[in-house]
């Protein structure tokens, strides 16, 4: 039983490392590595999103992207406040992230 936590470390770290493969994509760079990103700057870098939805808690919107690299895909969302400033982003869909988007303060 005492070795079970040690087995979980490689499994959990492999999940996290997988997302780093997308860090060089323009939409990720424009969102994750840019302070003060806006809807326009994200769309300039990543093109039009796959879909968009209204966020339920902050009266903003959310952009869904599908990241593609080396034969792999991952969802990526960018949440915006009512002023089109980026407030949240991550490797899931807007639908999955909606309940977690609670602040309208820009990143």
Residue 4 in domain = no
Residue 85: inside a domain, yes or no? yes
Beta strand residue intervals within the chain, DSSP E: 51-54, 61-69, 72-80, 86-90
Question: In this predicted structure, what is the pLDDT of residue 2?
Answer: 52
Mean pLDDT, to the nearest integer, of 8-21?
Answer: 54
The CATH number that applies at residue 88 is 3.30.1450.10
With a cut of 60, say whether residue 101 has pLDDT above it.
yes
How far is residue 32 from each of residues 5, 17, 23, 28, 59, measured CA to CA in Å?
31, 16, 8, 6, 22
1-10: average pLDDT: 48
Residue 5, in any domain of the structure: no
Residue 83 located in a structural domain? yes
Which of 7-16, 52-61, 81-90 is predicted least confidently? 7-16
Domain with 79, as residue range(s), is 22-100
Give the total number of structural domains in the chain. 1
Q: What is the pLDDT of residues 47-79, one digit of tens each?
A: 999 999 999 999 999 999 999 999 999 999 999
106 found inside a domain: no
Residue 105, in any domain of the structure:
no
Q: For position 18, what pLDDT does the model report?
A: 65
Cβ–Cβ under 8 Å, residues 51 and 96: no
State pLDDT tens for residues 19-57: 678 999 999 999 999 899 999 999 999 999 999 999 999
Mean pLDDT of 2-12: 47
Q: Among 7, 83, 77, which Cα is nearest to 49's?
A: 77
- Residue 27 belongs to a domain: yes
| Position 8 in a domain | no
**Comparing C-alpha atoms, which of 17, 27, 6, 100 is closest to residue 58?**
100
């Amino acid at each position: 039983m005492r070795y079970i936590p040690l087995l979980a470390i490689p499994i959990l770290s492999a999940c996290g490392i997988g997302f780093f493969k997308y860090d060089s994509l323009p939409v990720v760079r424009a969102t994750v590595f840019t302070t003060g990103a806006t809807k326009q700057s994200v769309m300039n870098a990543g093109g039009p999103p796959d879909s968009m939805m209204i966020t339920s808690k902050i009266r903003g919107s959310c952009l869904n992207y599908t990241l593609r690299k080396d034969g792999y895909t991952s969802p990526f969302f960018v949440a915006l406040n009512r002023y089109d400033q980026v407030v949240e982003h991550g490797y899931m869909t807007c639908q999955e992230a909606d309940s977690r988007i609670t602040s309208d303060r820009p990143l």
